[in-house]
């Protein structure tokens, strides 16, 4: 295997019989070979093993394009090391999000440093990156809602499937008010097993304190059916998992609500990386949760005022999607939620520059 992809090799590996203009293929292969130059061809094959098609081609090309600018970033080798060590898409995705955002500032030659050192209350902290806007350094934390809510739900669904061992078909729905503790996972498991064993037909429900509502019904597990109603105005994340046990289809459908308390916990956790003496921002890359940005905005806005979370100047909700046919960004939305009383205010000009860069 050569060190880089030839044009024909890349077409066979990623595009198969897909029709694409020679110019787009040439640009894409050039970007992919930029990854080979920095991280090696084996890195691509390891992280994208068995993946092909036009969407994957453009996705990998986009990574290569972002790497063109990364050497303009201070301490960029730390991010490179993280990328080099990844073995799966799950490990890789958080660092790709960081690369995507940090490279935007580097592209426009705005001074940026990855994982800078910041002393907060005599403790050494490392926010995700800092950017020099005019004469001020602004510190950033990237906080992905998908990692906050979707990843724990996926882990929980696996835990439940591994421990709920019953020889019958079922459809189980669990609505969570928050992420459960390990002890509470045990309660969810035992309650679910008891409900499944007693269930005969129709629908049955149970409440587990202020943690969850559980519903079991006789709907076809292969169909993602209706879910438990959620209080209006609160966004949710949903994970649906299936298992075939002795020829019987079993389904666990989990949903978690993003509440005011959860928003407060997340903002407080991120604020611990910041100093009162610096200007600080949080970016939420929304991804598949982009449709509920207005709900997220309403909840986060309630946590950015008065005397709470004053280290945070504001939160950006960023939504962007790429076309699998053209490789171009077809949707890009940015909502800025400012704190009404931060310790170190940002000017309108500074906020505008950051907005323009994130949308660039």
Q: Which of 241, 257, 273 is the last residue of a domain?
A: 257
Q: Which of 257, 275, 295 is the last residue of a domain?
A: 257
Judge whether 273 lies within some domain.
yes
Cα dihedral sign, 217-222-226-227: positive
The average pLDDT across 203-223 equals 86
Q: Are residues 265 and 246 both part of a single domain?
A: no
Q: Are residues 187 and 268 both part of a single domain?
A: no
Judge whether 171 lies within some domain.
yes
CATH number, domain with residue 319: 3.40.1350
Q: Are residues 340 and 298 both part of a single domain?
A: yes
Q: Say if residues 166 and 196 touch (Cβ distance below 8 Å).
A: yes
Q: Are residues 320 and 269 both part of a single domain?
A: yes
DSSP summary character for residue 74:
B
The average pLDDT across 50-55 equals 88
Q: Are residues 173 and 299 both part of a single domain?
A: no
Q: Are residues 160 and 123 both part of a single domain?
A: no
Q: Are residues 205 and 253 both part of a single domain?
A: yes
CA distances from 316 to 96, 147, 300, 328, 352 (A): 18, 16, 10, 22, 12
Q: What pTM does this model have?
A: 0.87
Judge whether 317 lies within some domain.
yes
pLDDT in tens, 246-268: 888 899 999 998 888 888 989 99
Q: Are residues 279 and 318 both part of a single domain?
A: yes
In 3D space, the residue among 182, 171, 276, 175 whose CA is nearest the CA of residue 218 turns out to be: 171
The average pLDDT across 138-149 equals 88
Phi, psi dihedrals of residue 210, rounded to the nearest 5°: -95, 15
Beta strands (DSSP E) in 42-157 are 112-114, 118-120, 123-125, 129-133, 136-142
- The pLDDT value given to residue 269: 92
The crossing angle, in degrees rounded to 10, of helices 89-107 and 76-85 is 160
Q: Are residues 268 and 347 both part of a single domain?
A: yes
Strands 314-322 and 212-217: unpaired
Task: Order the strands of the 129-133 sheet from edge to edge.
Answer: 112-114, 129-133, 136-142, 279-285, 314-322, 329-338
In 3D space, the residue among 82, 74, 78 whose CA is nearest the CA of residue 113 turns out to be: 74
Confidence check: pLDDT of 324 > 60: no
In 3D space, the residue among 349, 341, 272, 259 whose CA is nearest the CA of residue 298 turns out to be: 259
Judge whether 84 lies within some domain.
no
pLDDT in tens, 154-195: 889 999 988 888 888 888 999 998 889 999 999 999 999 999
Domain carrying residue 20: 7-68
Tell me the pLDDT band of 327, cut-offs 50, 70 and 90: low
Confidence check: pLDDT of 17 > 80: no
Q: Are residues 162 and 209 both part of a single domain?
A: yes
pLDDT in tens, 284-293: 998 877 788 8
CA angle 233, 253, 203 (to 5 degrees): 95
Phi-psi region at 123: left, alpha or beta (left = phi > 0; alpha = psi -120 to 50): beta
Q: What percent of the chain has pLDDT over 90?
A: 61
pLDDT in tens, 61-100: 999 999 999 989 999 999 999 999 988 878 888 999 999 9
Q: Which of 231, 257, 283 is the last residue of a domain?
A: 257
Domain count, the chain: 3
Judge whether 231 lies within some domain.
yes
Q: Are residues 38 and 163 both part of a single domain?
A: no
- The pLDDT value given to residue 258: 87
Q: Are residues 205 and 163 both part of a single domain?
A: yes
pLDDT in tens, 217-226: 887 777 655 5
3-state class (DSSP) for residue 332: strand
Judge whether 169 lies within some domain.
yes
């Amino acid at each position: 295997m050569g060190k880089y992809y030839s044009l024909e090799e890349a077409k066979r590996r990623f595009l198969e019989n897909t029709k694409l203009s020679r110019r787009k293929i040439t640009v894409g292969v050039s970007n992919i070979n930029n990854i080979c130059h920095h991280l090696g061809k084996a890195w691509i094959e390891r992280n994208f093993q068995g993946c092909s098609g036009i969407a994957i081609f453009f996705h990998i090309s986009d990574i290569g394009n972002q790497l063109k600018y990364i050497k303009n970033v201070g301490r960029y080798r730390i991010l490179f090391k993280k990328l080099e060590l990844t073995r799966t898409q799950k490990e890789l995705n958080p660092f790709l999000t960081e690369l995507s955002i940090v490279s935007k500032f580097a592209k426009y030659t705005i001074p940026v440093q990855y994982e800078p050192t910041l002393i907060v209350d005599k403790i050494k902290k490392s926010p995700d990156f800092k950017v020099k806007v005019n004469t001020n350094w602004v510190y950033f934390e990237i906080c992905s809602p998908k990692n906050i809510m979707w990843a724990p739900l996926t882990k929980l669904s696996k835990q439940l499937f591994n421990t709920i061992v019953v020889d019958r078909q079922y459809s189980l729905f669990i609505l969570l008010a928050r992420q459960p503790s390990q002890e509470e996972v045990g309660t969810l498991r035992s309650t679910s097993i008891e409900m499944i064993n007693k269930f005969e037909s129709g629908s049955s429900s149970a409440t587990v304190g202020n943690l969850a509502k559980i519903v079991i019904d006789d709907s076809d597990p292969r169909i993602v059916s209706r879910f438990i109603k959620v209080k209006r105005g609160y966004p949710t994340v949903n994970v649906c998992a299936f298992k075939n046990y002795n020829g019987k289809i079993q389904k666990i459908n989990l949903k978690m609500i993003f509440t005011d308390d959860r928003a407060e916990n997340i903002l407080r956790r991120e604020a611990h990386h910041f100093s009162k003496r610096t200007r600080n921002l949080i970016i939420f890359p929304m991804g598949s949760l982009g449709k509920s940005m207005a709900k997220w905005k309403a909840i986060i806005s309630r946590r950015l005022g008065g005397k709470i979370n004053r280290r945070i100047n504001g939160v950006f909700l960023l939504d962007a999607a790429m076309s699998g046919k053209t490789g171009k960004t077809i949707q890009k939305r940015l909502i800025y939620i400012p704190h009404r009383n931060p310790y170190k205010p940002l000017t309108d000009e500074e906020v505008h520059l950051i907005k323009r860069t994130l949308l660039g």
